[in-house]
Amino acid sequence: MIQEKNFWLTTAEMPQIAARPLPERVDVAILGGGFTGLSAARTLAKLGVKVAVLEAQTLGWGASSRNGGMVLTGLKLGATDLLTRYGKEATQRMFATSLEAISTVEQIIGEEKIDCNFSRSGHLEVANKRGHFESFQRSAEIMARELGHKVRVIPPDELSAEIGSKIYYGGLVDELSVGVNPARYVAGLGSAAIRAGAEIYEQTRVDRIEAAASNGSTGWKIETSRGALWAHDVLVATSGYTGGATPALRRRIIPIGSYIIVTEVLPEALAGEISPRNRMIYNSLYYTHYYRLTPDRRVLFGGRAAFFPENENTIRKSQAILRGDMIKIFPQLRDTNVEYVWGGTLDFAFDMMPHVGKMDGLYYSVGYAGHGVAMATLLGQKMAEYIASGVSAKNESPFAEIPFHGAPLGLYRRKPWFLPLAGLWFRFLDLIS
């Protein structure tokens, strides 16, 4: 029987957070109890700042526990696209930030003794077409020359050492990428924030934020489902779940659904055949698939089976679609049972880039586009440092310097009505690429 449940959460123990009244005032209120918010809360608390994390559901409930646990180098856009759009200097800073983000995750895991199966197993991108493989070769050359970063091109006749599928035209390996159990990681990050002195309030939905002075200080009155509080500063860390309390930010974020199935535990020999080097694997399509082995030898297989955020209908339909796709790639899994299926919501900006800064007086860090495990951790930490010091993010982060536009002509205000069109567009790009 297939359980409509997040597999990762069955392996993790979340911190038990007692319900208590909201404080009357804090130095910083953080909206969202995922990687960004908890990383920021941990840093702020260590700096002696009184901080409250306001989470509409429970700690780590959103994408932070629902993702594939892939901690990847780089960004959603490849090096060639970044260089074309932003130039060499900015691209070098952006790519270096992605590497710093992975190191930051590793450092926090070590400092806080978080048991989350951190493993530098590397990632493998597989080419769905011959033309894609040719672009891998060009990309490897560009990354080595312009970014000083070495990746390895895997020709078709050597690909069997990396993946037990015969449908691809080659691959690209980056040894620096990492695998983690994201639920255990976000649980550990939450515990670390609490130990540092941060206060976390679950089941606390933020409904409205308005400018308000208190005792002669400028700040914000925050109305929630559990009452109101005042904060000198606010950090919005809601990613794909950004809502009506921050409408200007919501208009710049596209919530895209991503879905995952997880199989039963595989025999050791079959697991070794599927992924001989235990890589984090994804394909070269816009309408992507990503897959890996879990630490207990299950296949985790995910992708954009539906562009809409998760609900009962999309989860059930996605299970059938993803299982069919998995078997096309790995026919040897035809008789393997799927035991778990779930969905989550990613946050894409219209330019597919991360963005940090200040909007309408509120700090924010959003737009990870599927690269959020490490980047959210680092940018949450950086935003905390900016808030505590009063330094502008533009002085430090390459993602604060790039334009953060919404939809053309203001055509998107509340619901992302265009998601079906986006899905068709990406399928068209895959057809012609």
Mean pLDDT confidence for 332-359: 95
Check pLDDT > 60 for residue 300: yes
Mean pLDDT of 325-351: 95
Alpha carbon of residue 23 to chain centroid: 30
Domain residues of the chain, as ranges?
Answer: 7-432
Confidence (pLDDT) at 194: 98
Higher pLDDT residue, 344 or 174?
A: 174
Q: Dump pLDDT digits (tens) for 188-214.
A: 999 999 999 999 999 999 999 999 999
pLDDT of residue 267 exceeding 90, the answer is yes
pLDDT at 313: 73
**Half-sphere CA count of 111, side-chain side, radius 13 A:** 14
- What are the tens digits of pLDDT across the range 52-97? 999 999 999 999 999 999 999 999 999 999 999 999 999 999 999 9
For 173-185, what is the mean pLDDT?
98
| pLDDT for res 396 | 74
Per-residue pLDDT band for 428 (boundaries 50, 70, 90) equals low
> What's the pLDDT tens digit per position in 362-376?
999 999 999 999 999
Q: DSSP characters for 190-240?
A: HHHHHHHT-EEESS--EEEEEE--BTTB--EEEEETTEEEEEEEEEE--GG
Mean pLDDT over each residue of the chain, to the nearest integer: 93
Q: Which residue in this structure is represented by tokens 């939809």?
A: 407
pLDDT band, very low/low/confident/very high, at 412 (cuts 50, 70, 90)? confident
Quick one: how far is CA 418 from the chain centroid? 22
Helix H or strand E encompassing 131: helix 130-142
Task: Report whether pLDDT(127) > 60.
Answer: yes
pLDDT value at residue 425: 61
How far is CA 291 from each of CA 59, 282, 287, rounded to the nearest angstrom? 25, 6, 14
Residues 6+ apart with CB under 8 A from 384: 28, 39, 40, 41, 42, 43, 44, 47, 49, 235
Topology of domain 7-432 in CATH is: FAD/NAD(P)-binding domain (3.50.50)
What percent of the chain stands above pLDDT 90? 83
Instruction: List residues bridging with 227 in a β-sheet.
Output: 224
Which residues fall within 8 angstroms of residue 93, CB to CB, at 6 or more apart?
Answer: 398
What is the per-residue pLDDT across 224-253, written as a single tens digit (0 to 9) for each?
999 999 999 999 999 999 999 999 999 999
Say if residue 24's pLDDT is above 90.
yes
- Which tens digits make up the pLDDT trace of 387-397? 999 766 556 78
The pLDDT-based confidence of 112 (bands split at 50, 70, 90) is: very high
